[in-house]
Amino acid sequence: MQKLDLENDISLLTGFNTKITFKLKKIGINTILDLLKYFPFRYEDFSKIYNISEIEPNQNVTIQAKIKSLKVHRSWQRKIIIVEAILEDKTGQIKAVWFNQPFLKNILKVGKFFNFSGKVSFDDKNEIYLAHPIYETIDLVNNETKHTARLVPIYSETKGLTSKLIRNIIKTALKTIKPLKEWIPYEILIKYNFPEINQSFKLIHFPNKLSEALRAKKRFAFEDIFLLQIYNLKQKLNLNNQKSFSIKTDLEWLKKILAKLPFELTFSQKKALWEILQDLNKEKPMNRLLQGDVGSGKTIVSALSCLVCAKNGYQSVLMAPTEVLAIQHYNTFKNLFNYISLENQPVLGLLTSSNLLIFYENDVESKVKKDFFKKEVLNNKINIIIGTHALIQKTIEFNNLGFVVVDEQHRFGVNQRAALLNKKNYIPHFLSMSATPIPRTLMLTIFGDLDISLISELPKGRKPIITKIISPENRLKAYNFIKEQIKIGRQAFVICPRIESSNNELNKEDILKLDIKNVEEEYKKLSEKIFPEFKVGMLHGKLKSKEKNEIMQKFKNNEINILVSTSVIEVGVDVPNATIMMIEGAERFGLSQLYQFRGRVGRGEHQSYCFLFTDSNSKTTRLRLEALIKAKNGFELAEIDLKLRGPGEFLGEKQTGFPDLSMKGLMDVELIKNSREAANLLFKKNPQLDFKNNKELLKKLEEFQKRIHLE
């Protein structure tokens, strides 16, 4: 028999027809490795062999019996074919029944011995029988079984691919593949009691005991998390080998600036700022994540850091994911400059697809041409540049770039930063900001190469947002409350849910059209029927940048009372007068997303409200939405969200390239701790992480880096 590699196509496995190969490929099993990584989701325990006289109702049993008689007949009531056999051993007899399997008459021959595994049930006459038992010829030579008299693996099935067939195919594969080379260092296998790679595949598919299967499962869950920890260490090592600018902080100067602010920084803002300034002072590039709730004041921390860079003669860049958010940051910086009124105020630039602005000293703002803007940046005449990612990366050449801030994009890797290198080949310091609450387990793993600063408190004077779940019978009452609020001068956001289509052929463009239609219908209903006396605006992804900006500006100026928007569009403009967040179809959003929406209100002196509209009567929906009301902060909520949805949905399995088992491993704090410990153990032994003595591990790491999509 030809020995196969894991990379070989599944069609090379002998003994199975092309129809089966086609079905395997349809569910994503293309190679031998894909097949072996198609793990069971549970096991049936048929390991104990019973005498027929010993068995009782509702037991899972295996018996070794001879077929005494066999008959096939059709049920006149349900028109199904029934196969009935009388099974016999030395202690007694029992009936076995199968439905719609007439071919069994050619397999189960009278007088032959088989193993039968199944559940013992009662029939109409109150007699016990075996319902649909698995059968297997007794192997008298080596006593080896696949389907009976053992712990039997159960797989996710599809039409034409039963667990029994999958077991047969996997058994063949395990006999056919070449012995695999172990890549996890031996001392790590011993330390964490993991089985060796060849043994692991056998134990997860055909364990003798459940504890063996769990050991193998733990090993496979560990693999990707372990590789990610090594990857993170390598990223850190690569950065530590790079040079950056040492940007000093004049503490007396900074104290004067802080004293001029119209508010006092919170303790966690001060702590985060200090951590950033200490990193800027080092000659190694900073690689830090600034994590904080919506409205917690991350932008002011980054703005003060940019000011420190400008005082030292270095340029800073702040990249935002959308034009709307870039304009918001630009206005925040402008307001900051007005408050602190510096003698040598940095020049501020805004670069988006529809805006090219330069804000000079003495409150002078100029709209400029792109070539002029690029020239001013190149000549170091613009100290702080704010814009969207793509434009800044592709079209601007910097003179002395020392600091890069990226908002709401956690991963901005070395390759992207290399595109921003200045002529001296120094890598700029890097800060990523995120308002998406990330559970600690995920933060330590996925963002393990980033140092983390947390802003865990909201600015002083903010009132807690009153959050209510609105059922259909209370909808009118909620509308009346919103009317009263708008009459006294407040404003409201209305978020429409994403359209979920069962049509798999729909592309992103089609789904966007459905989402827009959903918003348009809501806009029509609210503007014509519910709130005809108020000005209602509409925002969605098909509008041009200029139109979006005009609508947002009108909303900010209170020329629009109610803004209806899709969930995919950024509505992050700071509107302190907006006090109501109304979310339609709240059950369709993740908890972290709902939390972010809610954070768009409650930014001013007025009491704010969040209304979660839902037609769902599901208990799970209720529990999820109540968690939003009860959670003290975004991090606590993210932990709840992770437990409810799992990391696959939380992070997006397809986006990360993580398989399902590794995703589940991200819930296991001990496994994460062990993976970090193991990676650090390797780092101590091999500080360069080059793995010259372990080519298999090096190969695995290279494959992992190609597969993973964390950037």
DSSP codes joined into one string, 107-172: TS-TT-EEEEEEEEEE-TTS-EEEEEEEEEE--TTT---SSSSSEEEE---BTTB-HHHHHHHHHH
| pLDDT score at 412 | 47
| pLDDT score at 711 | 43
Q: Which helix (H) or strand (E) holds 393?
A: helix 389-395
List the one residue out of 189, 197, 683, 181 whose CA is nearest residue 691.
683
Q: How far apart are CA 464 and CA 419, in angstroms?
A: 43
**Residue 710 pLDDT more than 60?**
no
Task: Classify each residue of 698-707 as buried b or exposed e, where b means 16 or more C-beta atoms within 10 Å of its C-beta.
Answer: eebbeebeee
* Chain segment 563-575, per-residue pLDDT in tens: 998 876 554 567 8
Mean pLDDT of the chain: 85
* Chain segment 432-481, per-residue pLDDT in tens: 888 776 666 666 666 777 788 888 887 777 788 999 999 999 999 999 99
* Domain 466-632 fold: Rossmann fold (3.40.50)
SS3 6: coil
Distance of CA 320 to the CA centre of its chain: 21
**Residue 534 pLDDT more than 70?**
yes
Mean pLDDT along residues 113-137: 89
Q: Which residues make up the CATH 3.40.50.300 domain(s) of the chain? A: 251-281+297-434, 466-632
pTM equals: 0.70
**Residue 588 pLDDT more than 90?**
no
| pLDDT score at 500 | 47
**32 confidence band (pLDDT: 50, 70, 90):** very high
**Residue 660 pLDDT more than 90?**
no
SS3 466: strand
| pLDDT score at 570 | 52
Number of C-beta neighbours around residue 477 at 10 A: 9
**Residue 342 pLDDT more than 70?**
yes
CATH number for 48-149 (one of 1.20.810.10, 3.30.365.10, 3.40.50.2000, 2.40.50.140): it is: 2.40.50.140
List the one residue out of 233, 515, 291 whose CA is nearest residue 408.
291
**Residue 658 pLDDT more than 50?**
yes
List the one residue out of 413, 87, 419 whose CA is nearest residue 235.
413
List the one residue out of 681, 697, 686 whose CA is nearest residue 181.
697
* The dihedral sign for the CA sequence 518, 521, 523, 526: negative
99, two tokens: 């439905």
**Is residue 214 classed exposed, middle or buried when 0-12, 13-18 and 19+ CB atoms within 10 A define those classes?**
middle
298, two tokens: 């991350």
Q: How far is CA 448 from CA 81, 225, 237, 240, 434, in A?
A: 59, 11, 12, 15, 15
| pLDDT score at 506 | 46
Q: How far apart are CA 555 and CA 568, in angstroms?
A: 18
Question: DSSP states of 549-615 as a string?
Answer: HHHHHHHHTTS-SEEEEETTS------TTEEEEEETTGGGS-HHHHHHHHTTS--SSS--EEEEE--
Per the document, the length of the chain is 711
**503 confidence band (pLDDT: 50, 70, 90):** very low
| pLDDT score at 542 | 77
| pLDDT score at 663 | 64
| pLDDT score at 653 | 47
CATH number for 251-281+297-434 (one of 2.40.50.140, 3.30.70.100, 3.40.50.300, 3.40.228.10): it is: 3.40.50.300
SS3 289: strand
* Separation of first and last alpha carbons in the chain: 43
**502 confidence band (pLDDT: 50, 70, 90):** very low
